[in-house]
A and B are shown apart, each in its own frame.
Chain A
Amino acid sequence: MSKTMNLTLHVWRQKGGTDIGGFETYKAPEISEHMSFLEMLDVVNERLLADGKEPIAFDSDCREGICGMCGLVINGVPHGPNAATTTCQLHMRHFNDGDEITIEPWRAAAFPVLRDLVVDRGAFDRIIQAGGYVSVNAGSAPEANGLPVAKPDADRAMDAAACIGCGACVAACPNASAMLFVAAKAAHLGLLPQGQPERYERVKKMVAQMDAEGFGHCSNHYECMAACPKEISVDFIARLNRDLMRATVVERDHEEKSGGAG
């Protein structure tokens, strides 16, 4: 027989971006241990709706830990108590009968709340738009095996590319910095030969956009790595900082080369 539990939820409710939100308390009785955290909220929402109330708005899509759409701060921890687990993959068996659970949205100036637990992460898209790509048009690619990539480099690039863009790193950081997100993209592309031509330009542009979006600075708390459901390493931040320094040198080189053409 599977275990059920009775829970008390304190949930952030906020009608819209400009409204002042606040916590509301809901009972969640007879929750099965096999439910996911979001299924538990689904059940609460079905009951709210049946009572003629507006359900709690929260984001989710794949519900298998890969799209990066979900993300709640559960008892003060982005994505909740389990390491390397997105909110949608967290299951109720990690809670106990009688627990009180506080549920909040990501909190960061650059991620404004849209409603209840839903935030706007458009800033992440704009950081990628600033330079998080390799400039290659469809149809212009050379034969795939023309350029071998050392396996360790490919594996390391994949470690960084595993980022799902959920924003937990920002939510966890005391400064709401987006350094881990930016560093992951910079490392993914910067570790591969295909990413070399734009490597330094790319980091400069992405970091400039990150600053423009109002994310805070990184002061090496490493809370980001602890919260990351994909366990992206802070070593990539060190790498980003090295690339940033190098970017200034490379820029100077390019200026000198193009200078004097008259």
Chain B
Amino acid sequence: MQSRLDSKAPSGPIETRWDRHRFGMKLVNPANRRKYKIIVVGTGLAGGAGAASLGEMGYNVLSFCYQDSPRRAHSIAAQGGINAAKNYKNDGDSIHRLFYDTVKGGDFRARESNVHRLAELSVNIIDQCVAQGVPFAREYGGLLDNRSFGGAQVSRTFYARGQTGQQLLLGAYQALARQIEAGTVKSFPRTEMLDVIVVDGVARGIVTRDMVSGKVEAHVADAVVLATGGYGNAFFLSTNAIGCNATAVWRAHKKGAFFANPCFTQIHPTCIPAGGDYQSKLTLMSESLRNDGRVWVPKSAGDCGRDPAEIAEKDRDYYLERLYPSFGNLVPRDIASRRAKMVCDEGRGVGTELEGVRRGVYLDFRDSIKRLGEAKIRERYGNLFEMYERITGENPYKTPMRIYPASHYTMGGLWVDYNLMTTIPGCFAAGEANFSDHGANRLGASALMQGLADGYFVLPYVLGNYLASAKLASVDEGHIEVKKAVADVEERIEKLLSIGGERTPDSFHRELGNIIWNNCGMARSAQGLEGALARIPALREEFWQNLKVTGTGESLNQTLEKAGRVADFMELGELMCRDALARDESCGCHYREEHVTEEGEAARNDSEYQYVAAWEHTGDLSKPTLHKEALEFEYVLPVARSYK
């Protein structure tokens, strides 16, 4: 059973694995490249950089996104920064240290070879972006500035104010624009991919819907790259853009691509809490706030409704400082999130009561303002404080912020080998859409790094190698498999439009999100997961009986778009819970209440669970097949994380 999972990860000294692997690759003659058509779905850091680079090499590239412009991909929203092992600060950073930190931070559930390649490529990314004109922050001497991020002990994070993702994405977008002008890339904005076309077991194209005219059509190609981002919106509320969806990866999964570690989802501790049942998304507040803000809740539940200014010092519980004296408010994301949930579950949360529970904790700057002065705090966090006030109407200089964890990033994704190829030959996955580099927990500022590494420096090689070695039969729009894929998509759209029930797509999505959040969020248990696994299929059945979509398929119809995405989340949500149930250990983000150390931390079980869980769709959603890719650690030996 495991034979189908060949990671193709090279062996030998880890420092030279990528070099040696690249040398062994086949190349496509430059003159022949334009004869190969490559589809790239997604224009975020991974897809935008990938499509641009493949275009530069001379391939014939088709680029797709659901927004009205490739420049708006969700990568644009990343604030904090991007890691790279440049060691400009002379503080002991190196490729090996970045590799080490990433493997350890991922709680030993990532593949060493991939992570090392990522750390190596990190330095090239910064060079590339600077050459494109990305306006990174600079020191007075004119050289690049760095900061330390997410509890890292070295300063390796490059940033562009609070808009690093925006600037990196604009760099990739402009490179893409240049290729569109040059004619190597054809751009299809407002075009949603709804299926992968597989012919003789090999990916040969996609089916799309033009989101303005409603036209469904096939695009045939020699290879398909999915760079469609994460599935954090399965929870309904998340920090993701509201259009982020799992449709592309889920359709590929149903056509044969294994889905790896679906339960590995990152919950970010510092987000603005939900205000009411109208809430459409949650806003992330940069983690850097924890450098100067102190996290607390009242000691007694009776104080939770009171004005925080009236709560005396002795009645406050600075629980992170109490539980983790050495890291205090700077403990890793998963720990900070879990502890916030626990104090709220105890009834000690603050802020608006939703469904009978106050879900918020204070992040208080009072002491920092006293120590450093308001001017200093304004200089450090002015824009974040403004953003907070704009959303909540409260002034954080005067009253503590309220924060609560939210779904933020998905480490799980399509299983890929070292060549970023899924289990469907010819179908690749890059960026957040794949599972490859972050294990069970991602470090801050490492997602941007991975997206660009995949896009600029990995895809160009692995696609060339694939195209030079694959023997592809000629396929056109008239091929029976192509026609069938188009007909299937049309039939599904017709079905969504014709149910004629009573409930809106959003109402189903909210209910689904709640089930997943409560049972497969910050804490999971066999009992909770089993409950969710009973409720999700029932909800899905109701969805297909009682959905209401108005309008037609032949026009811009946002309700229809939502309905299709929710339908896929309904299926993926079940797999997330199944995976969480099967992984009967705790690791990184995956906190099984049954597996906790004496101090209340995640207890890994390396002897039984040191593997990647890769799920195969069998046609029966309740019975996917689990394949295991065993993980070996030759360079970073597994140890328990400790932040006490």
Please list the residues of chain A having a beta carbon within 8 angstroms of any beta carbon in chain B.
15-16, 32-36, 38-40, 42-43, 46, 49-50, 52-55, 57, 59-69, 85, 89, 91, 93, 114-115, 118, 120-122, 124-125, 128-145, 147-151, 154-155, 157-158, 161-162, 164-165, 188-189, 192, 194-195
Q: Is B56 a contact of A137 with CB atoms below 8 Å? A: yes
| Contact residues in B for A132 (Cβ distance below 8 Å) | 174, 177
Query: What sequence of 0s and 1s flags, for each residue 164-179 of chain B, a beta carbon within 8 Å of any chain A beta carbon?
Result: 0011001001110110
Knowing A39-B279, A194-B133, say if A63 contacts B241 (CB, 8 Å).
yes
Is there a chain A Cβ closer than 8 Å to B416's Cβ?
Answer: no
Does B68 lie within 8 Å of A162, measured CB to CB? Answer: no
Of listed A59, A136, A143, A144, residue having the most chain B CB within 10 A: A144
* A69-B68, A114-B556, A154-B136 known; A134+B131 contact, CB < 8 A: yes
Does any Cβ of A come within 8 Å of B401's Cβ? no
Known: A49-B550, A61-B241, A148-B143. A89 touches B391 (CB 8 A): yes
By a CB distance below 8 angstroms, the chain A residues around B212 are: 114-115
Instruction: Chain A residues near B39: list those with CB within 8 A.
Output: none
Residue in chain A with minimal CB distance to B141: A148
A128 touches B127 (CB 8 A): no
Flag if B140 contacts A54 (CB, 8 Å): no
Out of A61, A122, A128, A140, which one reaches B174, CB within 8 Å? A128
Given the interface contacts A42-B280, A85-B390, does A125 sit within 8 Å of B72 by beta carbon? no
Within 8 A of A (CB), among B380-407: 387, 390-393
Interface status of B275 (Cβ within 8 A of chain A): yes
Nearest-CB distance from A58 to chain B (Å)? 8
Q: What separation, in Å, do the CA atoms of A134 and B502 have in the docked complex? A: 52
Contact A43 B138 (CB under 8 A): no
A89 to B387, CA, bound (A): 9
Of B77, B138, B241, B393, the residue contacting A154 (CB under 8 A) is: B138
| Complex: chain B residue closest to A150, CB-CB | B142
Closest 5 CB pairs of A and B: A148-B142, A133-B174, A141-B131, A138-B53, A141-B127
Give the contact-size bracket for chain B: 35 or more
A135 to B175, CA, bound (A): 8
Partner of A144 from the list B127, B390, B393 (CB cut-off 8 Å) is: B127
30 sampled A-B residue pairs with Cβ under 8 A: A34-B275, A34-B276, A38-B280, A42-B278, A46-B507, A49-B504, A49-B548, A49-B550, A54-B551, A67-B72, A91-B393, A114-B212, A114-B556, A118-B556, A128-B177, A133-B177, A136-B175, A138-B53, A138-B56, A138-B456, A142-B131, A149-B142, A155-B135, A155-B138, A158-B167, A162-B161, A165-B71, A165-B72, A192-B133, A194-B132
Q: Nearest-CB distance from B369 to chain A (Å)?
A: 24
The residue on A at minimum CB distance from B56 is A137
Q: Give Cα A64–Cα B74 distance, bound, in whole angstroms.
A: 11
- Kindly state the separation between the CA atoms of A55 and B559 in the bound complex, as whole angstroms: 8
Among residues of A, the one whose C-beta sits closest to the C-beta of B275 is: A34
B28-58 contacts to A (CB < 8 Å): 49, 52-53, 56
B131 touches A130 (CB 8 A): no
* Contact indicator A136/B393 (Cβ below 8 Å): no
- Assess whether B173 is in contact with A194, with CB atoms less than 8 Å apart: no
Give per-residue flags for B139-170: 1 if the beta carbon is below 8 A from chain A beta carbons, else 0: 11111100000000000000011010011001
Contacts A93-B393, A133-B175; is A66 near B166 (CB within 8 Å)?
yes
**Given the complex, which residues of A lie within 8 Å of B550, measured CB to CB?**
49, 52-55
Within 8 A of A (CB), among B562-601: none
Q: In chain B, what residue has the closest Cβ to A43? A: B278
What's the Cα separation between A220 and B504 when bound, in Å? 47
Q: What are the residues of chain A within 8 A of B393 when measuring CB–CB?
A: 33-34, 91, 93
Check A63–B68 contact: CB distance below 8 A: no
B71 surroundings in chain A (CB, below 8 A): 68, 125, 128, 165
Which B residues lie at the A interface, using CB under 8 A?
49, 52-53, 56, 67-72, 74, 76-77, 86, 88, 124, 126-133, 135-144, 160-161, 163, 166-167, 170, 173-175, 177-178, 180-181, 187, 189, 212, 241-243, 275-276, 278-281, 283-284, 387, 390-393, 456-457, 460, 502, 504, 506-507, 548, 550-551, 555-559
Whether the Cβ atoms of A130 and B181 lie closer than 8 Å is yes
- Bound CA–CA A56/B46 (angstroms): 33
Rounded to whole angstroms, the CA-CA distance of A122 and B555 in the bound complex is 18
Which of A62, A64, A150 has the most CB atoms of chain B within a 10 A radius of its CB? A62
Given A57-B556, A151-B140, answer yes or no on A67-B181 (Cβ-Cβ < 8 Å): no
Contacts of A138 in B (CB 8 A): 49, 52-53, 56, 128, 175, 456-457, 460
Q: Judging by beta carbons under 8 Å apart, are B180 and A129 in contact?
A: yes
Q: B548 CB to closest chain A CB, in angstroms?
A: 6
The residues of A that contact B181 with a CB separation of less than 8 Å are 129-131
Inter-chain contacts of B161 with A (CB < 8 A) = 158, 162
**Which of B178, B189, B279, B456 is the one whose CB lies under 8 Å from A129?**
B178
Question: Across the interface, do B132 and A115 meet the contact criterion of CB distance under 8 Å?
Answer: no
Query: B558 contacts which of A55, A93, A142 (Cβ < 8 Å)?
Result: A55
Indicate if the CB atoms of A66 and B243 lie closer than 8 Å: no
CA distance A143 to B143 in the complex (A): 11
Say whether A134 contacts B133, CB under 8 Å: yes
> Quick one: which of A57, A69, A147 contacts B72, CB cutoff 8 A?
A69
In chain B, what residue has the closest Cβ to A68? Answer: B72
B548 touches A32 (CB 8 A): no
The CA-CA distance from A145 to B139 in the complex, in Å, is 11
Question: Contact: A63 with B187, CB < 8 Å?
Answer: no
> Which residues of chain A have C-beta atoms less than 8 A from B279's C-beta?
39
Closest B-chain residue to A190, C-beta based? B133
Q: Which residue from B163, B178, B283 sits with its C-beta under 8 Å from A135?
A: B178
Q: Determine whether the beta carbon of A134 is less than 8 Å from that of B132.
A: yes
Residues of B within 8 A of A64 (CB): 77, 281, 283-284, 387
Q: Which residues of B contact A151 (CB under 8 A)?
A: 138-140, 142
Kindly list chain B residues whose C-beta atoms are within 8 Å of the C-beta of A135. Answer: 178
- Contacts A33-B393, A34-B276, A57-B556 given; indicate if A66 touches B76 (C-beta within 8 A): yes
**Bound CA–CA A215/B420 (angstroms):** 43
Tell whether, in the assembled complex, residue B135 and residue A32 are in contact, meaning their CB atoms are under 8 Å apart.
no
A142 in contact with B127 (CB, 8 Å): yes
> Which B residue's beta carbon lies closest to that of A189?
B133
Chain B residues with CB below 8 A from A93, complex form:
393
B542 smallest CB distance to A (angstroms)? 16
Nearest chain-B residue to A34 (Cβ)? Answer: B275
The chain A residue with its CB closest to the CB of B143 is A145
Whole-angstrom CA separation of A135 from B182 in the bound complex: 11
Interface centre among B77, B129, B460 (most CB of A within 10 A): B77
Question: Which residues in B have their C-beta under 8 angstroms from that of A157?
Answer: 133, 135
| Chain A residues with CB below 8 A from B175, complex form | 133, 136, 138
Residue from the list A52, A133, A149, A162 in contact with B132, Cβ < 8 A: A133
Give the one of B129, B142, B187, B276 with max A CB within 10 A: B142
Bound Cα distance from A139 to B461, whole angstroms: 12
Instruction: List the A side residues contacting B126 at CB < 8 Å.
Output: 144
| Measured CA separation A38–B131 after assembly (Å) | 38
- Shortest C-beta distance, B505 to chain A (Å), equals 9
Chain A nearest CB, measured from B270 CB (Å): 14
Which A residue's beta carbon lies closest to that of B551? A54
Q: What distance in Å separates the Cβ of B53 from its nearest Cβ neighbour in chain A?
A: 4
Residues of chain A within 8 A (CB-CB) of B506 are 42, 46
Q: Of the candidates A53, A63, A120, which one forms a contact with B242 in the assembled complex, judged by CB atoms under 8 Å apart?
A: A63
Complex contacts, B143 vs chain A, CB 8 Å: 145, 148
A40 CA / B275 CA spacing, docked (Å): 13
- Cα A158 to Cα B166 in complex, Å, equals 11
Residues from chain A with Cβ under 8 Å of B189 in the complex: 122, 125
Q: Determine the distance from Cα of A57 to Cα of B283 in the docked complex, in whole angstroms.
A: 23
A155 to B77, CA, bound (A): 20
How far does the Cβ of A213 sit from chain B's closest Cβ, in whole Å? Answer: 14
